[in-house]
Structure 1
């Protein structure tokens, strides 16, 4: 194998596939990046057997040459060393050549590295996915949906299913739900589908986080293919595979209250900043903050830790309807939810001091957050 490639394309591809490479894998060859050169271009693959990422660099694009293939072939190179070497090479082009016994030479300008490679034939094959069941979604919408839900997945392995986000597809709608049993984030959107199939799968939160980092902020469509145990996200030059979590996701629709006793409409920024300040003196590891309704649409946000001190702040809401209320909650959960709501004004619906409460955008019903209060009174 021998080819010459533009360095910036190579660096970008290596960075993308590195997101799937783990140093803690039990399969030694997976600590490497697989490189395959064909007449069409160069394909890089990284995998930790949960996530696999394949990045393709075409030989030419828009009439300009990116890769000059001198001899097709393949090799697996140690990811950690290869990625560092590529980043620090001196010139804009890189020559990669596999010589005898898988020894690989990487040249750029006057710099020359020799890396011992592994046989690419021993690298596990990527999952074969039948692409009949596919739907499409714009990249920027997909990134938004991940951002607005993935933070609420559980970080504890006691219930592995809750470490993922539940994706339900039915009648042209995608519903994403995440919960760690103390809070819940839900986002829905319309999608392009060729058939009216329904799906109900759970994608690991870790996979979605890595996917989000790789995707560009464009409105180009991402093809999504769901099978029994894999999901594939496909963009122009990238394939991103993730395994699905086994098991049934709990029915979260029962958790969402239908009626409320107190409704508060307030500017998102005012509430977010006030809770952020109160959390500085919040008690316990959850930074518990209290919220009380006062007459004339005033909200009091406070926290009190006897050995540290206390803080009280009043903010003006747009409106308060219903019963008086005092409630305590985790500041972190509230801040996460408020940041995920892309709305200048929000409506918070309370059903009592010890019942879950809902946060929604005033102008957008596609996002919903639910938080369980903390017992302090």
Structure 2
């Protein structure tokens, strides 16, 4: 195996597949990156058996040559060392040669590294997914769906199913739901392409976070294929496989209240900044709790009180208040996470009582909602 490649392209691919490589694996070869050179270009693969990422570098991009292929072949190189070497190479081109006994030479400018390789035949095969049930969504929409839900997954392994995001596909709509049982994030999106069949799966939150880091903010389409135990995200030069979480996701529809007793409309930014200020003194206390009260004349009071530190009170105007008066307490962190996930300059908060979950939505947008359970303080 022998090829010469533009260092920037190689580095980008190495950084992408590294997101799937972990040092804590029971299969030693998975601490490496698999490199396969064919007549078409170079394919890099990284995997930790939960997530596998394959990145393809084509021989040429338009009329620009990226890879000069002298001899095809394959090798697995230690990811930790290989990625550091590529990052620090002195010139724009890199030559990689595999000699006898898997000895690999990496040359760039006047610098030459020798690395011991492993046999690529021993690297586990990626899942073979029959691409029948494909649906497609634009990359920037996929990133938004992830950003607006994944923060609400549980970080505790006591209920593993809640560490994932529930994806449901039906009637040409994709619904993404995440909850840690104290809050819930939901985002819907219409699918432009005809989605085949129904799906109801749970994708690990960690997988979606890593996927989001790799994807560029473009309108290019991502193909998504869901099988019984895997999901595949496919872009022009990237395959991202993740295992699915086993088990049934709780029925979250019951959590979302149908009735509402109080509706408040506020400016998102003003409200977020007020919560942020109130949390400065709440942070030390347990749960980071902020109190919210509706005053007369469409005014809201946001406050927090930590006896040993001090207290903060702030009044902000609401665009409108309808329904009953209310006092409620909630986690400042959960509220700030929710507000950052919403788009739009104004939000509507719908309450059904001081101890019932409440819903936050952008004004006039049914596609997204955040739900938070209050904290008992009053």
TM-score under structure 1 length normalisation: 0.99
Tell me if the contact between 1:97 and 1:105 (Cα under 8 Å) persists in the aligned partners.
yes
Separation of aligned partners in 2, 1:163 and 1:6: 39
Q: Deviations over 1:1-31 (max 9, x none)?
A: 0000000000000000000000111110000
Equivalent residue of 1:96, what SS? Answer: strand
Task: Please name the residue that 1:260 is paired with.
Answer: 260
1:71: which partner in 2? 71
- Measured after TM superposition, the shift of residue 194 of structure 1 is 3.7
Q: Deviations over 1:299-321 (max 9, x none)?
A: 00000011111000000110111
- The alpha-carbon deviation at position 259 of structure 1 amounts to 1.1
CA contact (8 A) 1:139 1:222 kept: yes
Q: Can you give the 5+ residue segments of structure 1 that lack an aligned partner in the other structure?
A: none
Secondary structure of residue in 1 paired with 2:22: coil
- 1:364 is displaced (CA, Å) by 1.6
Distance 2:9 2:364 in 1: 41
Residue 365 of structure 2 aligns with which residue? Answer: 364
> How many angstroms does 1:160 deviate by?
0.3
Task: Confirm or deny: 8 A CA contact 2:135 2:196 kept in the other structure.
Answer: no
1:1-377 superposed matches below 5 A: 1-282=1-282, 284-377=285-378
Query: For structure 2, which runs of at least 5 residues remain unmatched after alignment?
Result: none
For the 8 Å contact 1:343–1:363, the answer to whether it is kept is: no
Partner of 1:233, secondary structure, is strand
Deviation sequence 1:42-90 (CA, Å, 0-9, x none): 0000000000000000011102110001000000000011001001101
Any idea what the Cα deviations from partners look like across 1:137-195, whole Å, max 9, x if unmatched?
Answer: 00000000000000000000000000000000001000000000000000000113345
Structure 1 residue 343: deviation in Å? 1.1
SS of structure 2 residue aligned to 1:286:
helix
Question: Cα RMSD between the aligned structures?
Answer: 0.7
Q: 1:178 to 1:336 in 2, by over 3 A?
A: same
Q: Distance in 2 between matches of 1:86 and 1:124?
A: 24
State the 1:226 CA deviation: 0.3
Structure 1 residue 365: Cα displacement: 1.2
CA–CA distance in structure 1, aligned partners of residues 226 and 340 of structure 2:
30
Deviating 4+ runs (over 6 angstroms):
none
3-state SS, counterpart of residue 193 of structure 1: coil
User: 2:133, 2:196 within 8 Å by CA — same for their partners in 1?
Assistant: no
Query: Does the 8 A contact of 2:135 with 2:193 survive in 1?
Result: yes
